[in-house]
């Protein structure tokens, strides 16, 4: 099983989902902090089953929570969808603190009732289950399809429910953006987000001025 995971993750990483893979691995070693402050649910760290369970428990304990404030580099696709479903089911607003990348941007941010970005909030997409893959063998292709098939169906159902275009997860991987292939991911302007159905995006300090890089890796903008 470990060999299978290693081989599979190797292929996923080579196809542009390195950030998702890295955060999935990180989630196994970094403890995510989940707590409530007044009416805000704080989620700080990689997406993980334990953190999602804790978030669900806290929401059951209080009907006064109206906002999820998140700092996360992402994690495994299913975990992002699960947290996104939790946000959507409770009609929570989502506020990005310092950053929200990968599965956080794919699924958690779009699920928010109102989406808040702070002045320097980093919001970055990096790929999803629909992206094209290349395989060195039929065996690896079969292994990947067995892995991604249920996840792809889950992702499709999620986006249909929240009424956001699923293509938002892969728009930065089209040929016109090949020159940015060395970047860690991309962001959208608020206008472009609306074109995908990601509406009610608001800036807490009037403006949104994210840096063009994260940890010395570029992030390009799609307008």
- Which of these ranges, 2-6, 29-33, 48-52, 92-96, has the smallest mean pLDDT? 2-6
pLDDT in tens, 38-62: 999 999 999 999 999 999 999 999 9
CATH classification at residue 44: 3.90.226
Residue with tokens 């999602």: 52
Q: How far apart are CA 73 and CA 68, in angstroms?
A: 15
Q: How far apart are CA 206 and CA 125, in angstroms?
A: 23
pLDDT in tens, 110-150: 999 999 999 999 999 999 999 988 888 898 889 889 989 99
The residue range of the domain holding 92 is: 2-222
- The answer to whether 116 touches 92, Cβ cutoff 8 Å, is no
- Which of these ranges, 12-21, 86-95, 119-128, 137-146, has the smallest mean pLDDT? 12-21
Single pTM value for the model? 0.89
Q: How many domains does the chain have?
A: 1
> Given pLDDT bands bounded at 50, 70 and 90, which one contains residue 28?
low
């Amino acid at each position: 099983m470990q060999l299978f995971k290693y081989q599979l993750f190797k292929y996923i990483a080579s196809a542009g989902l390195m950030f998702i893979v890295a955060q999935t691995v990180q989630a196994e070693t970094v403890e995510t902090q989940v707590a409530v402050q007044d009416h805000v649910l704080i989620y700080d760290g990689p997406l993980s089953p334990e953190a999602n369970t804790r978030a669900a428990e806290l929401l059951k304990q209080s009907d006064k929570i109206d906002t999820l404030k998140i700092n996360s580099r992402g994690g495994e696709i299913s975990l992002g969808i699960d947290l996104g479903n939790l946000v959507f089911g409770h009609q929570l607003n989502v506020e990005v603190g310092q950053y929200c990348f990968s599965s956080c941007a794919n699924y958690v941010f779009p699920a928010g009732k109102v989406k808040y970005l702070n002045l320097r909030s980093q919001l970055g997409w990096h790929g999803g289950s629909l992206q094209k893959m290349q395989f060195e063998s039929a065996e690896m292709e079969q292994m990947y399809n067995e892995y991604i098939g249920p996840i792809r169906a889950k992702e499709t159902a999620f986006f249909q429910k929240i009424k956001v275009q699923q293509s938002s997860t892969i728009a930065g991987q089209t040929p016109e953006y090949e020159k940015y292939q060395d970047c860690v991911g991309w962001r959208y302007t608020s206008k472009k987000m609306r074109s995908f159905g990601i509406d009610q995006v608001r800036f807490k300090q009037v403006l949104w001025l994210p840096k063009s890089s994260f940890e010395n890796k570029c992030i390009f903008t799609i307008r």
